Amino acid sequence: MKRIVMGLAAASLLTTHAMAADLAAKPYVKAPPIVDPGYNWTGFYAGLNGGYSWGRSNATADIGGFFPAGSIATVKHNVDGGLGGGQVGYNWQVDRKWVVGVEADIQGTGERGRSNDTFGTIRIGSFGITQSSATSTDFPWFATFRGRGGFLVDPSLLLYATGGLAVGEVKFASTPTVTIQRFDGNSNTPIGGPISATGATVSESQTRVGWTLGAGLEKKFAPNWSAKLEYLYVDLGTKTYFSGTGNDIDVRFRDHILRAGFNYQFTAGPVVAKY
């Protein structure tokens, strides 16, 4: 009996080895591409933004009138206010670290500056003549057309620089006033009250072209959605207002803008890594 059991075990072992020898080798199967868990920045996008800006207007004029030729008056305004608008653009993700693109935006603003300025007083005989003006600068809208280029700190966070063309409307207005005060010739004491005459308000709006430069960061929080924070400096140069009227005024305008917004990307998808 013992010999029979041992014989059966040996026969079973030989059969198993023979079957294993007949099995074909496993075929080679290429591993599927690895999908990066990050984001694809390439594609069209559009969004909205809002923020605040700090504009600066610097106007100079030859006040003329009763004053000597070449008498210059300077008016400075802080043209501050909120803003809001929208942007559209296109990004190209060059590789896993760099993104370039183009963007255009248009903004409506509440930026306004006002002041009442005394340009000077001159004495003619027993009369003192003071010239002053109530002036204002408004910046109702602007638009920019810019390039963008940035570095991906991680697949979802872009740090970028931006710059290009800026266009905006700058409105300047002035209401002149002349005040006459009579003085006693000996004691220089005012006689009676002053007499003021206010002229007509003159205003002019100009659509001006300049440049802009800035930087920002943009963070994707979903494949198609991102939020951004951006700073822009806008310089619209110097232009002459009321040209040829005898009341020419040169107005320089520049603006500092801080805004936040969000974008929706229309063609977002996962980045397929190449190995």
Position 62 confidence tier, pLDDT thresholds 50, 70, 90: confident
Residue-averaged pLDDT of the chain:
84
- Return the pLDDT at 30: 58
Rounded to whole angstroms, the Cα distance separating 203 from 135 reads 9
Asked if residue 9 belongs to a domain, the reply is no
* Bigger pLDDT: 114 vs 176: 114
Evaluate if residue 86 carries a pLDDT over 50: yes
* Bigger pLDDT: 229 vs 247: 229
Do 252 and 234 meet the contact criterion of CB atoms below 8 Å apart?
Answer: no
Rounded to whole angstroms, the Cα distance separating 141 from 70 reads 34
The number of helices, as runs of H, and strands, as runs of E, in the chain is: 1, 9
Rounded to whole angstroms, the Cα distance separating 230 from 153 reads 17
Evaluate if residue 171 carries a pLDDT over 70: yes
Position 243 confidence tier, pLDDT thresholds 50, 70, 90: confident
Evaluate if residue 37 carries a pLDDT over 70: no
Least confident piece of the model among 33-42, 161-170, 197-206: 33-42
Q: Report the CATH number that the domain containing residue 221 is assigned in CATH.
A: 2.40.160
Do 92 and 150 meet the contact criterion of CB atoms below 8 Å apart?
Answer: no
Position 74 confidence tier, pLDDT thresholds 50, 70, 90: confident
CB neighbour list of residue 23: distance below 8 Å, 6 or more residues apart: none
Report residue 30: phi and psi, to 5°. -70, 135
Asked if residue 143 belongs to a domain, the reply is yes
- Return the pLDDT at 10: 45
Asked if residue 225 belongs to a domain, the reply is yes
Asked if residue 48 belongs to a domain, the reply is yes
Do 75 and 176 meet the contact criterion of CB atoms below 8 Å apart?
Answer: no
Token pair 């963007």 is found at 103
Asked if residue 100 belongs to a domain, the reply is yes
- Return the pLDDT at 120: 73
- Return the pLDDT at 69: 60
Least confident piece of the model among 28-37, 90-99, 104-113: 28-37
Asked if residue 77 belongs to a domain, the reply is yes
Average pLDDT (80-91) is 98
Average pLDDT (249-274) is 83
Which pTM was predicted?
A: 0.78
Do 235 and 254 meet the contact criterion of CB atoms below 8 Å apart?
Answer: yes
CB neighbour list of residue 28: distance below 8 Å, 6 or more residues apart: none
Do 8 and 16 meet the contact criterion of CB atoms below 8 Å apart?
Answer: no
Asked if residue 32 belongs to a domain, the reply is no
Average pLDDT (88-98) is 95
Position 127 confidence tier, pLDDT thresholds 50, 70, 90: confident
**Domain ranges, residue 261:** 42-115+138-174+212-265
- Return the pLDDT at 273: 46
Rounded to whole angstroms, the Cα distance separating 88 from 100 reads 14
- Return the pLDDT at 38: 66
Asked if residue 99 belongs to a domain, the reply is yes
CB neighbour list of residue 220: distance below 8 Å, 6 or more residues apart: 39, 41, 155, 156, 157, 226
Position 128 confidence tier, pLDDT thresholds 50, 70, 90: confident
Average pLDDT (172-185) is 84
- Return the pLDDT at 140: 98
* Alpha carbon distances (Å) from 137 to 17, 58, 253: 97, 9, 9
- Return the pLDDT at 64: 64
Considering its fold, how many domains does the chain have in total?
A: 1
Position 16 confidence tier, pLDDT thresholds 50, 70, 90: very low
- Return the pLDDT at 126: 80
The DSSP element (H or E) to which 231 belongs, if any, is strand 225-241
Do 259 and 49 meet the contact criterion of CB atoms below 8 Å apart?
Answer: yes
Diameter of the chain by CA atoms? 154
Amino acid at 216: G
